[in-house]
């Protein structure tokens, strides 16, 4: 390939810029040309496409968010949108595209693949819930931000002898809650992948105070379970009589300068995406498994390791969905005594 493009799609994640920079720099070092696409698939369909050079990405490595911007674009789920997008790519002489984002972005890449247009997916989301990879770009930064906030809240929690429920992002996956909870020494971590008993939660709080082993109590709650206020209400209903407060870390988890780990992973994956396209390979998603770069077919059969399969009715089946670290949930129970 002579000319490729790169876009970011879905929720922004720290390290997306580092990945874009790697795609651009690696492509140039391979003698290829590279274009940026603004606002994800929306910009692709609208033709909001522009050339990028090495200098154009020289200040973005350490910056949060995505300078290419992102946007939701449900129209790309329809055939018309897809064909229009591919037409625009061809008009700009683009032979392959790197898509950085989460599930929705991968679905878009899957459609490009269906139509025979070479696309390579990179997992970019703070939630760490993408199939085919142990780590996603942005996860490490989000865990750092969450842990930093939890450390701060612990100061107040201790000073006032309070119980805190702290809600962190994670609609389907408890990974941010688990990692930041262990890192901050949370007394309890509640995640969507594991059942909990509200009476036991309340009993744990009570026992901590009674045994004098704790003067405060920190509960980390993944958003996918329910909102913090609702969880606190359930606790009160179940008999909690501690001085209970709720904080929702909300959108601060999305932004910020990426951690070195996210920058390195993004750089590594971004460069590899170019290598695949250079060899003419598309329809693949890059991941990190066992600390090695891997690639899976985006679309195909489960036996072939494809991330998604289509049923005869055209429904998307997710093969091998991301699994929770239930061993980490157990670890925290041992350490929070």
Q: Under the criterion CB under 8 A, does residue 213 sit at the interface with a copy of itself?
A: yes
State the DSSP H helix or E strand holding residue 308, giving kind and residue range, or none if neither: strand 308-310
Contact stretch for a copy of itself (CB under 8 A) within 82-90, 190-198, 261-269, 279-287: 261-269
In the region spanning residues 28 to 47, those forming contacts with a copy of itself, defined by CB under 8 A, are 28-29, 39
Q: Under the criterion CB under 8 A, does residue 326 sit at the interface with a copy of itself?
A: no
CB of 245 to a copy of itself, least distance (A): 7
- Rounded to whole angstroms, the Cα distance separating 286 from 113 reads 15
Which of 290, 311, 313, 314 contacts a copy of itself by CB under 8 A?
290
In the region spanning residues 56 to 95, those forming contacts with a copy of itself, defined by CB under 8 A, are 58, 61-66, 69-71
Q: Which is nearer to a copy of itself, 26 or 111 (CB)?
A: 26
- Rounded to whole angstroms, the Cα distance separating 121 from 285 reads 4
Q: Which is nearer to a copy of itself, 153 or 298 (CB)?
A: 153
Give me the torsion for CA of 45, 51, 54, 60, rounded to 10°.
-40
- Rounded to whole angstroms, the Cα distance separating 69 from 92 reads 20
Length of the chain: 337
Q: Judge whether 333 is annotated as a binding position.
A: no
Token pair 């898509």 is at which residue?
A: 99
Q: Under the criterion CB under 8 A, does residue 320 sit at the interface with a copy of itself?
A: no
127 a catalytic residue:
yes
Q: Under the criterion CB under 8 A, does residue 153 sit at the interface with a copy of itself?
A: yes
In the region spanning residues 183 to 202, those forming contacts with a copy of itself, defined by CB under 8 A, are 183-185
In the region spanning residues 226 to 255, those forming contacts with a copy of itself, defined by CB under 8 A, are 245, 247-252, 254-255
**Taking the mean position of all CA atoms in its chain, how far away is CA 204?**
31
Angle, CA of 287, 289 and 292, to the nearest 5°: 90
Which of 82, 136, 267, 319 contacts a copy of itself by CB under 8 A?
267
Phi, psi (deg, nearest 5) at residue 318? -90, 115
Q: Judge whether 304 is annotated as a binding position.
A: no
- Rounded to whole angstroms, the Cα distance separating 17 from 25 reads 12
- Rounded to whole angstroms, the Cα distance separating 90 from 87 reads 5
Q: Judge whether 19 is annotated as a binding position.
A: no
> What does the buried/exposed string (b/e) look like for 129-153 if buried means 16 or more CB atoms within 10 Å of the residue's CB?
bbbbbbbbbbbbbbbbbbbbbbeeb
Which of 198, 257, 316, 318 contacts a copy of itself by CB under 8 A?
257
Burial (CB count within 10 angstroms: exposed 0-12, middle 13-18, buried 19+), residue 293: middle
Q: Which is nearer to a copy of itself, 112 or 169 (CB)?
A: 169
Q: Judge whether 214 is annotated as a binding position.
A: yes
**Annotated binding site: which residue ranges?**
11, 21-25, 72-73, 102-105, 125-127, 154, 162, 169-171, 185-187, 214-216, 223, 245, 251-254
Residue ranges of the annotated binding site for Mg(2+) are 103
Residue positions forming the annotated binding site for ATP: 11, 72-73, 102-105
Q: What residues are annotated to the active site?
A: 127
């Amino acid at each position: 390939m002579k000319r490729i493009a790169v876009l970011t799609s879905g929720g922004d994640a720290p390290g997306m810029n580092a990945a874009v920079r790697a795609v651009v720099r690696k492509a140039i070092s391979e003698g290829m040309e590279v274009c940026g696409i603004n606002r994800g698939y929306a910009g692709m369909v609208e033709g909001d496409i522009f050339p990028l050079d090495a200098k154009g990405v020289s200040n973005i490595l350490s910056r949060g968010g995505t300078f290419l911007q992102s946007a939701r674009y449900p129209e790309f789920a329809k055939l018309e949108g897809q064909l229009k997008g591919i037409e625009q790519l061809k008009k700009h002489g683009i032979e392959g595209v790197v898509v950085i984002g989460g599930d929705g972005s991968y679905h878009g890449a899957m459609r490009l693949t269906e139509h025979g247009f070479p696309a390579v997916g990179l997992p970019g989301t703070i939630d760490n819930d993408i199939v085919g990879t142990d780590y996603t770009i942005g996860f490490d930064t989000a865990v750092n931000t969450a842990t930093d906030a939890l450390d701060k809240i612990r100061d107040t929690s201790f000073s006032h002898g309070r119980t805190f429920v702290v809600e962190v992002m994670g609609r389907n996956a408890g990974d941010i809650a688990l990692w930041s909870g262990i890192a901050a020494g949370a007394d309890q971590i509640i995640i969507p992948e594991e059942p909990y008993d509200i009476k036991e939660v309340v009993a744990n709080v009570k026992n901590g105070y009674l045994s004098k082993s704790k003067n405060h109590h920190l509960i980390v709650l993944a958003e996918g379970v329910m909102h913090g206020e609702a969880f606190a209400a359930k606790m009160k209903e179940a008999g909690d009589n501690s001085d209970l407060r709720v904080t929702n870390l909300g959108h601060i988890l999305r932004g910020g300068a990426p951690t070195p780990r996210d920058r390195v992973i993004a750089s590594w994956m971004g460069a590899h995406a170019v290598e695949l396209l250079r060899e003419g390979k598309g329809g693949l998603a890059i991941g990190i498994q066992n600390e090695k770069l891997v690639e899976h077919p985006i679309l195909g059969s489960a036996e072939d390791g494809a991330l998604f399969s289509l049923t005869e009715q055209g429904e998307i089946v997710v093969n091998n969905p991301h699994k929770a670290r239930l061993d980490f949930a157990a670890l925290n129970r041992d350490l929070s005594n």
